[in-house]
Amino acid sequence: MSDVDVDGLVKQLLADVPPDSNDAATFLGAQFDAGLAWVHLPQGLGGLGLPRSTQGVVDEALMAAGAPRSFNTNPIGYGMAAPTLRAYATEADLARFLRPIFTGEQIWCQMFSEPGAGSDVASLSTSAVRDGDEWVLNGQKVWTSLAHVASWGLIVARTDPSKPKHAGLTYFFLDMQSAGVDVRPLRQATGDAEFNEVYLTDVRIPDTQRLGAVGEGWKVAITTLMNERVSIGGRVNPRGEGSIADAVRVFRENGRPPEYADRLMQLWVRAEALRLTNIRAREQAKAGADAGPEGSTAKLGDAELNQDIYDFCVDVSGADGLLFPMTYTPPEGQRTRSRTGRDHRYSYLRSMANTIEGGTSEVMRNILAERVLGLPPEPRVDKDMPYSASPR
């Protein structure tokens, strides 16, 4: 379909469903039906069978027109669930899930981390025991963003404790309304409760909701994690926008104190260097490259820069920076969060999670050291040990 008039399709979409007079779900549904959601996918699955690079043309035109973005509506569904499903799900499941994921009508969450398995996710203990055509899950997950509003969740569980920890895992997708699923919100320093702990008690999942082969859950999980890091760190804002715009605004509002000018310029240079790096990674993705270690680079750089920017904002504000805004009301049941445009004192508190969520900065550095620089891996004494025999 190389002769498709993509520009014409975009113009027709904007004319038929003006973004300023339609809600996000309606517009995104029309975008999906027009094949402009993921243009490289087949027709009927949100695409047109075109080169992946064409998506950038579509996205830029829609963004310029003020159209809603699927990532903002359903960040985990769009950034993590959809790529994993596309890699491992059946055609029937793709037809069932991709459209409501793109429109945000089905919010998704990701259940990997556990109280005893954070940075070392492969040491998780949630079990899945086969019972005929079903699996019975028991265990606890934690730090599960949007679980309180999610329709579906991605989950990794241990199906064979006699094998080494990476080899005994299997990957599933779970209806969050299933019997035995108990979601409990966790209140954060900001006052929000955007993530949760999830308890699983005799939760039954049909084998048809397994992604990948039994025992290959780690392989599938890597697909999710690589796309997660790209979605967290790989955003490409226009020059001077995003978090750095908050730093400039706060600097101006506080009289442009000269003693902070050099520090602001250093942050600006870092923000621009990261933006250009992300543009390069985006161009590789447009050319058809799968998510790789560059996602870890983007995630690491974005997380630490974001913290430094809001640390600067608080410092520039002086004593006022120590006061949490009294007019702030925590948004109960929020689906998404904005990275910018909020009070910088709120953003400072929220940024503390950036170097933990989606993989800690320490984990990102290990990935880059081993997979990009070729440095020797850290010693892993339990790598080939049966999970049941490893110390915990």
pLDDT in tens, 320-378: 888 876 555 555 444 444 445 578 998 999 999 999 887 788 988 988 898 888 999 88
Confirm whether 387 is domain-assigned.
no
Confirm whether 302 is domain-assigned.
yes
CATH number of 70's domain:
1.10.540
Confirm whether 383 is domain-assigned.
no
**Same-domain status, 184 and 296:** no
**Same-domain status, 230 and 363:** yes
Confirm whether 29 is domain-assigned.
yes
**Same-domain status, 195 and 322:** no
- If we measure between CA atoms, which residue out of 200, 201, 210 comes closest to residue 134? 210
| In contact, 85 and 91? CB cutoff 8 Å | no
**Same-domain status, 179 and 243:** no
Mark whether 228 is an active-site residue.
Answer: yes
Q: What is the DSSP string of 158-215?
A: ES-TTSBTTTSEEEEEEETTSTTEEEEEE--TTS---EEEEEEEEEEEEGGGEESSTT
What's the confidence (pLDDT) of residue 233? 45
Question: Domain boundary residue among 68, 103, 138?
Answer: 103
Greatest CA separation for the chain: 70
Average pLDDT, the chain: 89
Confirm whether 232 is domain-assigned.
yes
**Same-domain status, 308 and 184:** no
Which two tokens mark 92? 């029937």
Most confident listed range (99-113, 189-203, 351-365): 99-113
What's the confidence (pLDDT) of residue 180? 98
**Same-domain status, 133 and 57:** no
What's the confidence (pLDDT) of residue 230? 58
**Same-domain status, 97 and 190:** no
| In contact, 176 and 199? CB cutoff 8 Å | no
**Same-domain status, 148 and 211:** yes
For residue 386, give the DSSP letter: B
**Same-domain status, 209 and 157:** yes
Confirm whether 212 is domain-assigned.
yes
pLDDT in tens, 52-92: 888 888 998 999 999 999 988 899 999 999 999 999 999 99
CATH number of 170's domain:
2.40.110.10
**Same-domain status, 38 and 157:** no
Confirm whether 392 is domain-assigned.
no
Q: Which of 114, 197, 228, 294 is catalytic?
A: 228
**Same-domain status, 179 and 253:** no
Confirm whether 378 is domain-assigned.
no
> What residue numbers bound the domain in which 256 lies?
221-371
Domain count, the chain: 3
Question: How far apart are alpha carbons 392 and 84 in whole angstroms?
Answer: 30
What are the φ/ψ torsions at residue 137 (nearest 5 degrees)? Answer: -105, 140
Query: What pTM was computed for the model?
Result: 0.85
